[in-house]
Amino acid sequence: MTVSRLLVLRLRKQMFENLLVQDIALYDGIMVGQLTSRMTSDVAQLTQPISQFLTMFLSGMVQLTGATVMCIHTSWKLTLLAATMLGPVMYLTTVYATWSQGVNTLIMSAMGDCTAVATEALRNIRTVRSFGADQVERNTYNSNIDLCWKWMLKDSFASAGVTATTYCLSFATGVLIYWYGGNAILDGSDMQLNIGNLVTFNLYWQMMQTSVRQMNSMLSTLIVSASSGKRVFEIIDTSPDIPLDDPAALQLGHTLPDIVFENVKFTYQMRPDSLVFGSVSFSIPAGKTVALVGKSGAGKTTCVSLLLRFYDPQGGSILVGGHRLQELNLRAWQRRIGVVSQETQVFARSVRENLSYGLSSEEYSDASMEEAARAANIHDFILSMDQGYDSMLGEGGSRLSGGQKQRLAIARAILRGPQLLLLDEATSALDSENERQIQGAIDQMVERMQGNCSVVLIAHRLSTVINASKIIVLHEGCKLEEGTHDELLRNDKVYAKLVRKQLAKEQQELQQD
């Protein structure tokens, strides 16, 4: 009992530790619920038989060995005869065990799908309800439950069939033993046999059967456990292609590095046929602000992911201070980066914990936190909450508006004191009034950090990138243009066209107001 409980905890710990450092690409191809299901149900199934198994298996083995020795001792001929019947039993059991292991993997996978559907639906309960999709979710969940049940029934019938056949064979063997033994005694062809040891043999034979049956009854549990074990160890034994902490990896010095994309070629594993970057080259000079613009789907967010080394490019390289990004210690590199991503992530913790996320207590103080919050224009709002910086934010920041979440994310990025600031449409979730406010905060921050921090600015509103040292126009994975706002306007190509289009749109909006 204690052993299996300890094992459950150990396995869960190991799985979670390993999942935290897996390649981001893994998460593109799997639902999180599938993983949590492996950490909970599969681990429980895997460890369930351990305590029973040890005692039952050991006593079964002792009994089986003793009974076999006594059978041979009583009559080796009868033992041989009985053993011929064991062949079909073992064959049947092996076939069933192999089949059942496959079936149980299917069952556990369907259970994983159940958890995946449930977690996703409950996490997005507001969307589910606002679209009246509760029945759709219920049906999807139920169809997975039905699938589990279908395979469980099949497994139970097969298991019952195997047990019944084994009983029949065992009965037939008993009859065979009496028939052969009886005849041998009557015609005197086996001098070793007499009525006494025929009966004794049968008793030992029954004992052997009981222990085999006892161990067989463990079989189903063991098969389920083995199927779950496969799913658990698949995770524990996977090591990421992109290691977070490689002791042999380079640590950069303190100087601000230039960053260069050199003929970068990139495709997402999940969509191998669609090339995101064919061969893209540009540089982010140390301390400068570089803006990436382009239509949705142009590959701007992908640049951010590549800089964070969530993925490695398939061709070309990203150079940081002259070194390939792959050569650097990833943890140390990511520590230098502050990100405000397109979809702001807020944890169900306090404001303080959210702001200092990923920092140790020596790396920030209350004063620096307050300063960051002020710079992001969120300090006053935080103070207006019931417990100020200790107020809890609810899952996914459900107690905040989109703009508040984004300002919190900006403050979080500032507090890290980054060398590289990645702002991926940091103002996209805001109305224009809010956007102007935050844009002011970002401009201030960029100005304050001038020279101490390189900035990659992705903005859907072009007016926000006018002051960038360099603007890069991406289109379907190619770099179309590069230059300052004025240079690109003079060029009068794609960027100039985009600016004119947006100006016209903004004017239209103004007139409507």
Helices 2-20 and 43-74: crossing angle in degrees, nearest 10, is 130
CB-CB neighbours of 426 under 10 Å: 29
Which amino acid would we find at residue 57?
A: F
The beta-strand segments (E) located in 346-413 are: none
300, 379, 416, 479: residue in contact with ligand ADP (rule CB under 6 A):
300
Pairing relationship of beta strands 275-284 and 470-475 according to DSSP bridges:
unpaired
Pick out residues in 64-93 that bind ligand ADP (CB under 6 A).
none
| Binding partner at 357 among ligand ADP, Mg ion, none, C-beta below 5 to 8 Å by kind | none
**C-alpha–C-alpha distance, residues 272 and 274, integer Å:** 6
- Rounded to whole angstroms, the Cα distance separating 487 from 470 reads 10
Q: Which does 297 bind (CB under 5 to 8 A by kind): Mg ion, ligand ADP, none?
A: ligand ADP
Contact 341, 300 (CB under 8 A): no
Stretch that binds ligand ADP, among 34-42, 289-297, 332-340, 353-361 (CB under 6 A): 289-297
Closer by beta carbon to ligand ADP, 300 or else 407: 300
* Rounded least distance, CB 300 to ligand ADP, Å: 3
**Judged by CB under 5 A, does residue 344 bind Mg ion?**
no
| Neighbouring residues of 486: CB distance < 8 A, sequence distance ≥ 6 | none
| Residue 471: alpha-carbon gap to chain centroid | 36
Strand partners, 421: 338, 455
Q: Which one of residues 60, 112, 181, 299 is an interface residue with ligand ADP (CB under 6 A)? A: 299
Min dist. Cβ of residue 298 to ligand ADP (A): 4
Query: Which structure tokens are listed for 85?
Result: 């019947």
232 or 465, CB closer to ligand ADP?
Answer: 465
Rule CB under 6 A: which of 453-512 touch ligand ADP?
A: none
Residue selected from 74, 100, 302, 454 as contacting ligand ADP according to rule CB under 6 A: 302
- Interaction between residue 313 and ligand ADP (CB under 6 A): no
C-alpha separations of 338 from 204, 369, 412, 466 in Å: 75, 15, 8, 22
Q: Which structure tokens are listed for 293?
A: 């613009």
Taking the C-alpha atoms of residue 476 and residue 478, their distance in angstroms, rounded to an integer, is 6
Per CB under 6 A, 267 contacts ligand ADP = no
Tokens of 44: 């429980």
CA angle 373, 343, 126 (to 5 degrees): 105
Tell me whether residue 271 or residue 490 sits nearer to ligand ADP (CB atom). 271
If the CB atoms of residues 27 and 91 are measured against Mg ion, the closer one turns out to be 27
CA distance linking residue 205 with residue 199, whole number of Å: 10
Tell me if 47 contacts Mg ion by CB under 5 A: no
- Structure token digits, residue 150: 């279908």
Q: Which residue's CB is nearer to ligand ADP, number 304 or number 411?
A: 304
- What type of residue is 132? G
| Residue 166 is a binding residue for Mg ion (CB under 5 A) | no
**Short-list 377, 264, 253, 384, CA closest to 314:** 264
Closer CB to ligand ADP, residue 26 or residue 133?
Answer: 26
Q: At 104, is the secondary structure helix, strand, or coil?
A: helix
- By a kind-dependent CB cut-off of 5 to 8 A, residue 298 interacts, out of Mg ion, ligand ADP, none, with ligand ADP
- Which residue of this chain has its Cβ atom nearest to Mg ion in the complex? 301
| 275-314 footprint of Mg ion as x/- string (CB under 5 A) | -------------------------xx-------------
List the structure tokens of 178: 């009496």
Q: Which of 55, 296, 361, 512 binds ligand ADP (CB under 6 A)?
A: 296
427 counts as binding ligand ADP under rule CB under 6 A: no
Please identify which residue in 3, 16, 28, 239 interacts with ligand ADP, judged by CB under 6 A.
28
Between 28 and 447, whose beta carbon lies closer to ligand ADP? 28
Distances (CA, A) of 27 to 306, 311, 342, 353: 16, 12, 18, 25
What distance in Å separates the CA atoms of residue 503 and residue 401, rounded to the nearest whole number?
28
> What percent of the chain is helix, strand and coil (3-state, nearest 5)?
65, 10, 25
Q: What residues have CB less than 8 Å from 16, skipping those under 6 apart?
A: 39
Interface pick for ligand ADP out of 162, 232, 298, 445 (rule CB under 6 A): 298
Q: Which stretch binds ligand ADP (CB under 6 A): 100-108, 298-306, 411-419, 432-440?
A: 298-306
Q: Please, which of residues 121-180 interact with ligand ADP by CB under 6 A?
A: none
181 binds, among ligand ADP, Mg ion, none (CB under 5 to 8 A by kind): none
Taking CB within 5 to 8 Å according to partner kind, which of Mg ion, ligand ADP, none is near residue 17?
Answer: none
Residue 301 touches ligand ADP, criterion: CB under 6 A: yes
# chain residues binding ligand ADP, by CB under 6 A: 13
Angle 134-187/76-123 helices, nearest 10 degrees?
180
Binds ligand ADP (CB under 6 A): choice among 186, 191, 248, 270: 270
User: Between residue 372 and residue 411, which ones bind ligand ADP under the rule CB under 6 A?
Assistant: none
Question: What does the binding site for ligand ADP look like in residue numbers (CB under 6 A)?
Answer: 28, 268, 270-271, 276, 294, 296-302
Question: What does the binding site for Mg ion look like in residue numbers (CB under 5 A)?
Answer: 300-301
